[in-house]
Amino acid sequence: MSVFVVVIKELKQFRRDPRSLIMIAMIPLIVMILFGMGYGGEKGKVNIGIVNLDKEALSWTLIDSIMKVKDLNIKAYGNSIEEGRKLIEDGKVSAVIIIPNGFTYGIIKNSSVQLLVIVDESIPTISSMIKSSILYVTYKFQEELSLRAQGNFIEIIYNSVYGPTVTNIEAFTPLVMGIVLQLVPTTLISIAICREKEKGTFEQLIMSPISKFDIIFGKFIAFFIATIANMLITLLVAIYVFNVSIKGSIIDAMLISTLFLIGSLGLGILISVLSRNQLQANQAAIFVFIPALLFSGTFVPIDMLSYFAKIIANLTPMYYFTSAFRDIMIRGVSIWDVSWQTLVLIIYAVLMLTIALKTLKLRVD
């Protein structure tokens, strides 16, 4: 019977803390709704480019077949292999299919022909999907022309950009950095402030000769240093233990990481203001992190998500961080080449800090 007494006591405690009860009940529901609306239903398409050097009837027939593939969207056309590669380097498409001169003539003459496919290997999930789709469409194309019966075939030659291959650990390294720079600092600083508020030490600090700015800024710097150290250790393990290569500048990667970390710490301070206790702070930090994880573009590329999911992703700082960090790490670009992501992270950092500090000042007064 003593067990039931404890159970009743804890349930009554939940009733006295309706905010925690609502968060416990709503978090799984909201996550499921976001997941269903983002990953369920109609999906997006991956953008590809076409360079048709043949310009004869069967080459256009092949392009028509590609247009019917549900996962591919022909976004751009080029006039040369160099233009096609430039489309990938500029981030406009994820792959380019090169139909060579003499493609139609080779098929008519009952001889083998080749297709050159240039693929962006920086995101393995996209490159694998593209290769599977192109293999399928060429098979169906041959089947429609009864080429299999004649013994003809289309040979696919793959060329890569940012490759030749990107390992799974390299593909997930930006996400790991994002977890270190958002979930860890946001949770720790929010819980730390809430713990001091619960114990009453936070009010004692306010009553001391130390200014409110010194109190918050001191905590901010302490958690900033701890998280940066944590991130550097994680990055060194990735580089020296798992052979992850950083093609871009380490300084650029650190600048992007610093901006994201400042925003995460500001978010943690804001959560501590809105939370009454450590449990609520922890729940809120996890609740904010889950959509960021789902819509970061790591598990499923943003182009492949539904329209609703793309909207959420574009509102998620984690997406901009992982995108910028991936481009610097895998593509070897500079911070100027990811200026848009950098601008968004600057706005995020300034906005979070401003709102958090102003709100915190009002609450403690």
pLDDT in tens, the chain (365 residues): 567 666 666 566 656 666 666 666 666 666 676 666 666 656 678 889 999 998 888 889 888 988 888 888 888 898 888 898 888 888 888 899 999 888 888 888 777 788 899 888 877 778 888 888 888 888 888 877 765 445 557 888 888 877 666 777 888 888 889 988 988 888 888 888 787 777 766 666 666 666 666 777 777 888 888 888 888 888 888 888 888 888 888 899 999 999 999 999 999 888 888 877 787 788 888 888 888 888 887 777 777 777 777 788 888 899 999 999 988 988 888 889 889 999 999 999 999 888 887 876 544 44
Spatial contact of 178 and 290, defined as CB atoms under 8 Å apart: no
Token readout for 245 is: 């290569």
Q: What is the pLDDT of residue 363?
A: 45
Which distant-in-sequence residues (6+ apart) come within 8 Å of 121 by Cβ? 127, 160, 161, 162, 163, 164, 165, 166
- In degrees and rounded to multiples of 5, residue 296 shows phi and psi of -80, -15
DSSP string for 276-302:
SSHHHHHHHHHHHHHHHHHTSSSSS-G
- In degrees and rounded to multiples of 5, residue 262 shows phi and psi of -60, -45
pTM of the model: 0.77
Of the candidates 135, 133, 122, the one whose C-alpha atom is nearest the C-alpha of residue 88 is 122
CA atoms of 296 and 310, how far apart (whole Å): 10
Q: What is the pLDDT of residue 364?
A: 46
What is the edge-to-edge ordering of all strands in the sheet holding 95-99? 72-78, 46-52, 95-99, 113-120, 154-161
Where in the sequence of the chain do the CATH 3.40.1710.10 domains occur?
A: 46-161
Return the SS3 of 326: helix
Rg of the chain over Cα atoms, rounded to whole angstroms, equals 26
CA-CA-CA-CA dihedral for 90, 92, 95, 98, to nearest 10 = -90
Which distant-in-sequence residues (6+ apart) come within 8 Å of 350 by Cβ? none
Fold of 46-161: abc type-2 transporter like fold (3.40.1710)
CA 65 vs CA 78, 130, 143, 176, 302: distances in Å: 18, 14, 12, 39, 24
Q: What is the pLDDT of residue 311?
A: 81
CA geometry: angle at 104 spanning 102 and 110, to 5°?
A: 100
Return the SS3 of 17: coil
